[in-house]
Amino acid sequence: MHDDRSLVEARLERALRQFLRPAQYTDRLPLALSVWHVPGEPVPVDQALQAAYEPFTTGTLWGKPWSTSWFRIEGRVPEEWAGRHVEVVVDPGFTGDGPGFQAEGLLYDASGVPLKGIHPRNRHLTVGAPARGGEAVHVLLEAAANPAVLHGFEPTHLGDVLTAGDGPVYRFAAADLAVLDPDVWRLVLDIEVLSELMHELDAGRPRRHEILRALEDMLDVLDLHDVPGTAPAARGALTEVLSRPAAASAHRISATGHAHIDSAWLWPLRETVRKASRTFANVTALAGDYPELVFACSQAQQYAWVKEHQPHIWERIKKAVEEGNWAPVGSMWVESDANMPGGEALARQIVHGKRFFREEFGVETEEIWLPDSFGYTAAFPQLAKLAGVRWFLTQKLSWNQSNRMPHHTFWWEGIDGTRVFTHFPPVDTYNSQFHGRELAHAERNFAEKGRATRSLVPFGWGDGGGGPTREMLEKARRLRSLEGSPRVEIERPSAFFAAAEEEYGAQAPVWSGELYLELHRATYTTQAKTKQGNRRSEHALREAELWCTTAAVREPSYAYPYDALDRLWKTVLLHQFHDILPGSSIAWVHREARETYARVLAEVDELTARAVRALGSGAPAVLNASPYERTEVVADALVTVPGLGSAAVPDTEDPAGARVRAERSDDTIVLENEWLRVRIDRDGLLTSVRDVARGREVLCGPGNLLQLHPDHPNAWDAWDIDRHYRRTRTDLTDAESVELVESGPLRAVVRVTRAFGSSRIVQDIRLTAAARRLDVVTEVDWRESEKVLKAAFPLDVHAERSAAEIQFGHVHRPTHANTGWDAARFEICAHRWLRVAEDGYGVAVLNDSTYGHDVTRCAHEDGLGTTVRLTLLRAPHSPDPETDLGTHRFTYALLPGAEVGDAVAEGLALNLPLRVAGAPALAPLVSLDNPAVTVESVKLAEDRSGDVVVRLYESRGGRARCELTAGFPVARTEVTDLLERPLHETTGPFTLRPFQILTLRLRPA
C-alpha cells in the first residue's frame, strides 16, 4: 500500500478546523446586553442587582485593569428551537485560549444565584437540553478585567491596581443564544481522541494504521456541507475502532479532576476568592451531568472564602462531598511554600487544614497535596505521619533543570527516619486535558514499569480556568479502555494511593532527605520584606502563645485569646502560599503583604503585652521566649534570664564583671570580650575574628565582605538565580566611613558606611559583654536593578558538608560539586542558622530574616577553608518591576566555636529578642533537663479545655532522654498527635530519637 498518511492526516485536520468545529453550534442569536461598571473594588451580587444598567453593544471596549463590570444578558429562546440543546455562549473578549490569566466571569440567574464560571475553554451555560420555545433568558455576568501580566518576563506596571492605568483592556466579543448539536460535538471528541492516540503510536504498529483508515472512512461518510445531517453516520464509522479494549498490560491511570488555583500570584488575594467561586461553581454544575466526576480540591482557605462569600456554592460543595463527586485533599490551610515556613508554622498548616476538612465535611484527609511548591523540606514525612497523613503528592520536581528524579512512586524518608508513601505523577502536569500526548508521556515516562502499573493524572484547567470540562469527561469515557492507550479510570486520589501502596509498597525504593527543586532557587531571597514579615510574625506568635498560656494558667481571671490567635495564625499561614512567601507574585500582592504583616505584628504585640500585664506589675523585668537561658545586655545592664521565664533587671550594670573593650589605631579597630577578639580594618572589613577560648583564628580571608553580582536569569525573573551569576562579581571594599560609635563597657559598636551604585548601606558591627557571637546590624537603602547582594564569610574550617537549620532539625549538604546533584545545589535554604565544621570545631552564621545561602570550598595558602555567604537582596523586574527597592533592616551574626546546640540556642536568641516589661520575675511554665531537646511551642489546647500543649523536638541529631517539669500542678500528661488528639498517657521521662517531634498535653490539676 502506498504511504499516504500525511495526506489523510492533513485532510482530517482541515475538516476539523474548517467544517466540524464550527458546525458544533448550528444556530446563533445575539442576546441583548446592558452594563454596570463597578466604580471600585468588587461588590456582592445583591448590590449588583440593585444597580443602574446602561445599554451595551458587542464590539465595545470595557474594563480598566483589575476592574469589574456586571453585564445583564437577556433574550428569549425561539419557538423553533424547542426540544433542542440551547446554550448561552459568552465571550467577553478572551485573548487566546489560555485560561486563568485574563478576563474571567461568573454567571448568575436573575435572582442572584451563582450558576457557573465563564473562561476561554468553558464559555457556555446550558439553558435547556431540551429547551422550551419562548422561554425567557435572563442572566447576570460578573466580569473581571484581570490583565495578563507575564509577557516574556518583561517589566510591567499592570501588576498593581495603583499603577496599572485606566485604559480598557478588553473588547466584548459576543453574548449569544446558540444551539449545540450533540452529534457533531461528540463526533469532534471521537476524532480528537483517536487522532491524538494515533499520533502517539509508532508507525510500525498496526493499530496506528487501523485508526488512520477508520478516520479516512469516517471522512468519506461525512458530508462537509451537511455536517449535522451526516454526523451520526460518521460516528458510526468510528464505532468499531473506538470499541477495541486496552491491552491487559496497559498502564493504569487514576484520573482525578483538579483545578490548581494559586491563592495569589499574577492577581491579588481578593481575586482568588472569585477564581475559587467560579471554578467551584463549574465543578458542582458539571457533576450533575457527569456523575462519575471526582474533583480533588485542596487549600482549606479557599473553601473558607467560598463559604463566606458564596453560600449557594458552598451548599453545592457540601452536597458534592456527600455524593462522592468532590474529594477534599491536601490536609493544609494553603498549598504553602515548603522550604521557608518555620516548624510550628508548617505544623499549623496541617493542623488548621485537617481540622477544617474534618469539622466542615467530616472528612479525615490522608494526603499532603503540593503539586506546585518549589522543593520540599525533609521535615515533611514526620509532620505528615504525626497528623495521620499516609501519602504525599507533588509534581514540581519534573521541572528540575539538571537531574531527573529516578522514581515516580517511592517512600520518602525524613530526617528522623519517618517514611511517607509518595507519588510524583509521570504525566508531568497537574492540568491535564486527557490529550493523547499527555497519556502516552505518562506511560513512557513512568519509572516504575515492571514493578508497578499505575499512576495519577490530575485533569482540569487551573488558576481560575474553571477546572474539568465536559470535553475532558467525554474523553475520559472514551479512554476508559481503548486499545493503544493507557486505561483511564476516574477515581479519588485515596483510591489511587491505596491501590498503588498495596501493589508496590513493599518493593518501592526510598528517597532520603529533602526533595530539592533544581530551579526557582531565588525564591529563598526575592521580596525580602515579605520573608521578614513571615519570620517575625512566626516568632511573635510563638512568644504571644507562651505568655498568654502563662497568664491563663497562673491568673484565673485572664481570658486566653483563642479567636484572635486562630485568626492571626491563619493570616500568616495564608501568606506562606507558594507564590507569596517565595516572592513570585505581582507588586499588589507584596504591597498588601507588607501592610498585613505590620497589622499582624502590632496586634500580636498587644496580645503579648496584655498577657504580661495580667501576670502582675512590678519593677522592670526581662522576659525570654526562647527555651534556653540567656545572658545578654539589656539597656545598660547584663541580665541572665531563664528559658521561657523572666528575671528582674539587676541594680548593678555589670554583676558578673563582664566587659567588652574597644581600641582604635590609625588603620584598625579591635573589639574584644572574654570570648572573641575582632579586628576591623580601615575598609570596615573583618580581617580577624579570633576565638579566644579555643585559641584559633576563624577567618581565612576578609569577613563580612559584601559582594554584588549581576543577576539575569534565563527566565522566571523573581524565581530564578542561575549559576552564571557567579562569573562576574564586584567586591564592595571601599567604605565611606568606619567609626567606633560605642566603646563599652557592655557594648562596642563599629559603624561602617558604604555607597555603591545608587544604593547605600550602613552596618553596625556589634560585640557585647559575655556574647559569643558577633552581630552585623544592617540597614540598606537598596536601589539596584537586576543585581544580587551577598555577604561572604571565608572561614578557616575544612568542612565536607554544611548543616542548615530546617523545620524541627537540620540537613547536611556537601560543600563540593562532585556530582550533578551536588552542583545543582548552588543556592540553598537555611532557617535561623547554617553551620560548617571540621572534626572538633565549627562556626555558625546566624540570621534574623534571611533564607538564601551558598557554601563553597575555598583553598588558601594554609589549607582548605569554607566560604559561607548569605544572599541578602535581589532586584528582579518581573512580575514586580520594583522588587525590593527601598530601605531594609536586618541582622546576621557570626558564631565561632559553635556546636549544633549553640547554633540552635543563639539562632533562637537572635530571632526572639528579650522583652522588657513591668512584670514580676517568673519561673518557666515548663522546663526540660536536656538542652538537646528544644521547646517549639507552648499554648492552650485548641479544644478550649484549658489543657496546656507543649511541642518539643530533639534538635541536635542524636538520641536524647529528658524530663519535663511543669511550673504548675499537673493532673495528667498525654502524648498526642499533631492535632492534639491523645495517643497515650505518660509520666515521663522521654527518650527521643534524632529529630523526633513530641507533642504533650498537660491537664492542670
| E runs forming strands in 737-832 | 737-743, 747-756, 759-768, 774-782, 787-795, 801-806, 809-814, 828-829
Q: Output the CA–CA distances (angstroms, integers) from residue 162 to 587, 783, 895, 909, in the order listed.
A: 10, 21, 44, 39
Q: What is the model's pLDDT at position 652?
A: 61
- Per-residue pLDDT, 656: 54
Among 265, 519, 524, which residue's Cα sits nearest to residue 399?
Answer: 519
Alpha-carbon gap, residue 560 to 548, rounded angstroms: 6
Cis? peptide before 745, omega within 30° of 0: yes
Burial 674-692 (b: 16+ CB within 10 A, else e): ebbbbbbbebbbbbbbbbe
As to burial, measured by CB atoms within 10 angstroms (0-12 exposed, 13-18 middle, 19+ buried), residue 577 is buried
Catalytic residue among 27, 217, 372, 428: 372
d(Cα 908, Cα 848) in Å, to the nearest integer?
Answer: 9
The DSSP H or E segment spanning 304 is helix 300-309
Residue 421 C-alpha cell reads as 508513601
Closest CA to 943 of 984, 988, 1003, 997: 1003
Mean pLDDT for each 10-residue chunk of the chain (1005 residues)?
A: 89 97 97 98 98 98 98 97 97 88 96 96 95 96 96 94 96 98 98 98 96 98 97 98 97 98 97 97 97 98 98 98 98 98 98 98 98 98 98 97 97 98 98 97 97 98 94 98 98 98 97 98 98 98 98 95 98 98 98 98 98 89 97 92 93 66 92 97 97 96 98 97 97 97 94 97 97 98 98 98 98 97 98 98 98 96 94 98 98 98 98 93 94 98 98 98 96 98 93 98 96
Q: Is the peptide bond before 881 cis (omega within 30 degrees of 0)?
A: no
**Enclosing H/E stretch for 570:** helix 562-574
Contacting residues for 256 by C-beta, under 8 A, at least 6 apart: 294, 295, 296, 327, 456, 457, 458, 459, 490, 491, 492, 493, 496
Q: In Å, how far are 106, 670, 755 from 732, measured between CA atoms?
A: 54, 21, 9
Helix then strand count (H, E) for the chain reads 18, 56
User: Using one digit for the tens of pLDDT, what is the confidence trace for 411-462?
Assistant: 999 999 999 999 999 999 999 999 999 999 999 999 999 999 999 999 999 9
Nine-digit cell string for 816:
563540593
* DSSP code, position 26: E
The reply to whether 372 belongs to the active site is yes
369 contacts 330 by C-beta, under 8 angstroms: yes
pLDDT in tens, 686-725: 999 999 999 999 999 999 999 999 999 999 999 999 999 9
Residue with cell 449569544: 176
- Tally of residues, the chain: 1005
Other CB atoms within a 10 A radius of the CB of residue 208 amount to 18
Half-sphere exposure of 241 (CA within 13 A, CB side): 25
Cell numbers standing for residue 626: 526562647
